[in-house]
Structure 1
Amino acid sequence: MRSIEETRILLDLIDLSFLRRTGVALPVPPGVPDRYDWLHREAPYSLLSHDTAADPVFTYVNEMALHSFGYGYSEMLSLPSRLSAGPADQAERNRLLAQVRQNGIAFNYEGLRRTKNGNTFQIYDGIIWVVEDQERKVIGQAALFWPTDALRPDWWNIPGPK
């Protein structure tokens, strides 16, 4: 199990990598006293990452992602990320991840994902990007997606593709 400090360091790298790719940090509403705690516990969008292994495993997951996929925290952090999509959606997922490896980021992804019990759910407005450490070595990929197609809050300030 990762410590709180290790989780914050990884979340900082996810956020910094997002900033490098988009020009903005991961969005939070104004006045949030601890952005990382809010991103982890209260964000209305899912945020997760996986490593660079041949069969990548999730390395970070926020509360909304846990709720969406139906796994516990420890379960999700030992899960190969390919299992987040069903067999029929693997080819599209692989194509998307290859695009991210090549371009550093992909915007506006929508698709089906699979829960722990095998049900599927739709994701909306997905953004997937490469995560780098402080020396800019690639350590994985992160994803942000919304669980509904509802309007985004006023503080949602993500620019489109660059």
Structure 2
Amino acid sequence: MHAHSHLLCSSYLRLTGRPLIAQGQGDMPNDALLAESLYAADVAIVSHDTAADPIFNYANLQAQTLFGYDWERFVRLPSRLSAEPMLREARAALLQRVARDGYVDDYAGVRVTGDGRRFMITRATVWNLHDAEGVYRGQAACIHDWHAL
């Protein structure tokens, strides 16, 4: 988990020039503190892997609450299932835009919880995850604002 937290933060910083979460004074905190800070952040942070049908591989506590899945269910969920079937085409177009441009910081869209409730995401950033060697590791999202529909 520590390595993935570092991947989330370093990829975000490299692409946007901004830290993913407030990290206080000085250098980036140690891996354990970083992982704990991401998990407890007041924004929803998720990521998925590189599979042809990507599977979520990270969801902080805020994301688990928002989407209505516990960790064990979330990290087995194909990320496409976080959108209603009729909205999956728009979601696929977003992911292609991110793949092309590296990140987008103006995403808004409707998502669905584990029990079928709909909610609107606004002010979300979606970005590509690349490790220190430049290897593509998936995509992530930080959701700043949302409301029930």
- Structure 1 runs (4+) greater than 2 angstroms displaced: 33-36, 146-149
Structure showing greater relative contact order (alpha-carbon pairs closer than 8 Å, 6 or more residues apart):
1
Closer/same/farther in 2, CA of residues 40 and 115 from structure 1, 3 Å limit = same
**Cα distance between partner residues in 1 of 2:2 and 2:78:** 22
The Cα of 1:27 is off from its aligned counterpart by 2.4
The residue number in structure 2 matching 1:38 is: 37
Asked if the contact 2:110/2:121 (under 8 Å) is kept, the reply is yes
TM (norm. structure 2) is: 0.89
1:13 aligns with 2:7: yes
1:146 aligns with 2:136: no
Please tell me the residue identity of whatever aligns with 1:90: R
TM (norm. structure 1) is: 0.82
Higher strand share: 2
SS at match of 2:111: strand
Quick one: percent identity of the two aligned structures?
37
CA RMSD across the alignment: 1.5
- Partner of residue 105 from structure 1, selected from 85, 103, 106: 103
**Cα distance between partner residues in 2 of 1:90 and 1:106:** 18
> Please, which runs of 5 or more residues in structure 1 have no aligned partner?
1-6, 150-162
State the aligned residue count: 141
The residue number in structure 1 matching 2:19 is: 25
The Cα of 1:69 is off from its aligned counterpart by 0.5
Asked if the contact 2:2/2:34 (under 8 Å) is kept, the reply is no
